[in-house]
Amino acid sequence: MISTVLLESLSVAALAVVLVCAVVRPFRWPEAAFAVPAAGVVVVTGAITTDAVREEAERLGPVIGFLAAVLVLAKLCDEEGLFHACGTWMARWSRHRPRRLLGAVFALASLITAVLSLDATVVLLTPVVFATATRMGARPAPHVYAGAHLSNTASLLLPVSNLTNLLAFTATGLTFTRFALLMLLPWLAAIAVEFVVFRRFFAADLTAGPTAPDTADDPVEVPLFALVTVGATLAGFAVASAVGIDPAWAAAAGAGVMAVRALTRRRTSVVRLLRAVDLPFLAFVLALGVVVRAVLDQGLGDALDAVLPDGTGLLSLLAVAALAALLANLINNLPAVLALVPLAAPSGPGVVLAVLLGVNIGPNLTYAGSLATLLWRRIVHHHAHEVSLVRFTLLGLATVPAALVASTVALWLSLELFGT
């Protein structure tokens, strides 16, 4: 029989391998290529029981299904021209002024992240922002870095905005609309802090004049069908949650409507839809959940439980958010939320929401804080734009502590005003 110490070491090593390979991606293999074998190792060695594996699969199953539907919905919206329309609107709104373009990027990135999830902002909006800035002849750095930060910070609003939110939503015991109500003020506070800091941090880039002709009069072609479908899907989330139906069904319905339209018009194919689902990433999420559960069962859960505050006062919420942010930067925000949410849930939804503040805002401090930031870095490099680690870190130091404090105070105020 394998000793407890050996199982603890094995579980931690498996998690380290999964996280390092997710960051480095050796041979450009998908994250699942390392996470699935690591999950197999912790199961075979007995670091996690089969019952615990079954529990994790049952807990993550609806989340993974929801994520698949949202990925398809976002991709089909892109093919309908929604993100191209966003780029044209940003160019018109900016009136050839970089400062106005930054405001447009903040507005659109915040809304797209909240409604279509952070993946849509990173994968689909970032190239549009590049194209718009290049078209204007503006320096792209402020607008591109805004996409990275807002893919994390602006994902606070809805349960559907981030995989971390989906993982925590059930544990809060809140309805979809109640969750949104309590997170509205923290969402606005965090975005406001980011905007103020960005204006000052990138002052030199934003005051540099554009070098391309004005294109403010270009027409905007609005994809009405995509907009109506997204709006109906968002309403479906609220209705489904209110009547006790998993919001994943509403997401599936929205993605299904868009898919049927695209298939009948021959604008897509089944193969392209399967690629949009990103099956390797879904397998990675499930495997990561199993590995994290093994680490928790082997002692990390007890250690975190000992230091996690359980009160709902302002100081306790600040401490919870800070701990979550620290853990997200140490082991990535997905493992952090998987580790902390079960421990925070008994203290009430306020503490769970404070955890979300930490794991969603905190990753703006380091590249490894979230998978979205890692993906953003790959996309930026693909567009031949240099990303400075020093600049990214300095920007994180200027935004993360202030945004974390402001949003936590706003959460405490929301809890005092609206209760749970």
Q: How far apart are CA 36 and CA 40, in angstroms?
A: 6
42 close to 48: Cβ distance less than 8 angstroms: yes
Residue 138 confidence (pLDDT): 83
| Per-residue pLDDT tens listing for the chain (420 residues) | 567 788 888 998 998 898 888 777 788 788 889 999 999 999 999 999 999 999 989 888 888 888 888 889 888 988 888 888 888 888 888 877 889 999 999 999 999 999 888 878 887 888 888 888 877 888 888 999 999 999 999 999 999 888 899 889 989 989 899 999 999 999 999 999 999 999 999 999 888 766 655 555 566 678 889 989 989 998 888 888 778 888 888 889 999 999 999 999 988 898 999 888 888 888 988 998 899 889 888 887 888 888 888 788 999 999 999 999 999 998 888 888 988 999 999 999 999 999 999 999 999 998 878 878 877 887 787 665 677 888 999 999 999 999 999 999 999 999 999 876
Residue 213 is predicted with a pLDDT of: 58
- Amino acid identity of 175? T
Distance (Å, rounded) from C-alpha 257 to C-alpha 68? 15
At residue 329, the 3 state secondary structure works out as helix
The SS3 assignment for 273 reads helix
Give the span between the Cα atoms of 295 and 289, in whole angstroms.
10
| Predicted pLDDT at 331 | 82
Q: Which pLDDT score is estimated for 220?
A: 67
CA end-to-end distance (rounded Å), the chain: 47
Answer yes or no: are the C-beta atoms of 364 and 326 closer than 8 Å.
no
* Contact partners, residue 152, CB within 8 Å, separation at least 6: 118, 162, 360, 361, 363, 364, 369, 370, 372, 373
Distance from C-alpha of 104 to C-alpha of 101, rounded to nearest angstrom? 5
Q: What is the pLDDT of residue 320?
A: 96
pTM of the model: 0.84
What's the confidence (pLDDT) of residue 212?
57
Distance between CA atoms of 110 and 298, rounded to whole angstroms? 39
Packing angle of the helix pair 50-79, 82-94 (nearest 10 deg): 60
- Which residues are CB-contacts of 300 (< 8 A; sequence separation ≥ 6)? 12, 339
SS3 content of the chain, % helix, strand, coil (to 5): 80, 0, 20
Taking alpha carbons only, the member of 57, 72, 80, 183 closest to residue 117 is 72
